[in-house]
Every structure is written in C-alpha cells, then in structure tokens.
Structure 1
Amino acid sequence: MGLISLLWGIVAVLWMIAALIPFLGWGNWFMIPFAAIGAVIAAIGLLFTRSEHNARAKAGLWLNGIAILVGVVRLGLGGGFI
C-alpha cells in the first residue's frame, strides 16, 4: 500500500504542476479527487503496516496532501469555486 500511495502521490504532484499552467487549471477539478483517493490509500497503508515500514505511506500521504492543498488554493484564486 505504501508504494502504491507513493507512486499515486508522485503522479498527483506532477498533475498539480501541469495544472498550474494557465488555461490548464481545469485539471485541478480532476486532480483533487485523484489525490484524495491516493491519500485514502496512504492512510490505509499507515494503518496496516508496522511503524518501521511505513515511510512510503507517509511520503504518499504528504505528497497527496500537498497536491490537494495547492489545487484547492489554485481553484480559489482562479475563481474555480463559483
């Protein structure tokens, strides 16, 4: 689960970077739910792995959380929540 969430987080962050480009901000509407699913996978990975083996799940959770936060801020600044 940790590796899946880490890879999911990397894809979400790359998608977030692409959605920062003008006229591609609509990608945030799809990236935020995608990253939320990755955060849920990371949380499940944290619950079911031992504390010494959950670094990948923690990294995936952080990456997905950052992608969600930046996507929400970007939509808020661009007027995407109308």
Structure 2
Amino acid sequence: MLNLVSILIGLVTLASGIVAFFPFLGWMNWLVIPIGIVGAAVGALSSSNGGRNLNIVLIIIFALRLMLGGGIF
C-alpha cells in the first residue's frame, strides 16, 4: 500500500516537474524536489522498491535541471 502511495506522489512530482521545465519556471523545482523526497521516504517504508526508485530518479533529474538553470531559471 505504501508503494502505491509513493508512486502516486511520484506522479504528482512528475507532473509538477514537467511544468518546471518551461523557461522562467525553474524556481518551481525548489517546490518539486521536497515532494519527491517525501515520496522517496514513503517508498523506503514499503516492502517494494518501485515507488522509491521512481522518486529518486525524479529527484536527480529535477536537481540537475535546477543546477543547470542556476537555481532560478
């Protein structure tokens, strides 16, 4: 059950992160990354690894986007 919750949090993170890829909306990654961290924490409590892995991948992708944009753009 916790794995399903983690996957749902990951999907919310993904949808929000796609919006943050648009120019001048990179600041949204400061909001998206903590949501992914919560999803990874919930996934870590689960017996399955799918939700945790999804959130970890999303955190890495959006953190790279944040670094490439200089933290703002």
TM-score > 0.5, shorter chain as reference: yes
What is residue 65 of structure 1 aligned with on the other side?
56
TM-score (norm 1): 0.78
Is 2:25 the counterpart of 1:24?
A: yes
Residue of 48, 53, 76 corresponding to 2:67: 76
Higher Cα Rg: structure 1 or 2? 1
CA displacement at 1:8 relative to structure 2: 0.6
Does the 8 Å contact 1:13/1:63 carry over to 2?
no
In 2, Cα distance between equivalents of 1:2 and 1:8: 10
What is residue 8 of structure 1 aligned with on the other side?
9
SS at match of 2:62: helix
CA displacement at 1:24 relative to structure 2: 1.2
Equivalent residues, number: 71
SS at match of 1:79: coil
Q: Any stretches of 5+ residues in structure 1 without a counterpart?
A: 47-53
Q: What RMSD in Å do the two structures reach over aligned CA positions?
A: 1.4
Where in structure 1 do 4 or more consecutive aligned residues deviate above 3 Å? none
- Residue identity over aligned pairs, in percent, reads 41
TM-score (norm 2): 0.87
What is residue 43 of structure 2 aligned with on the other side?
42
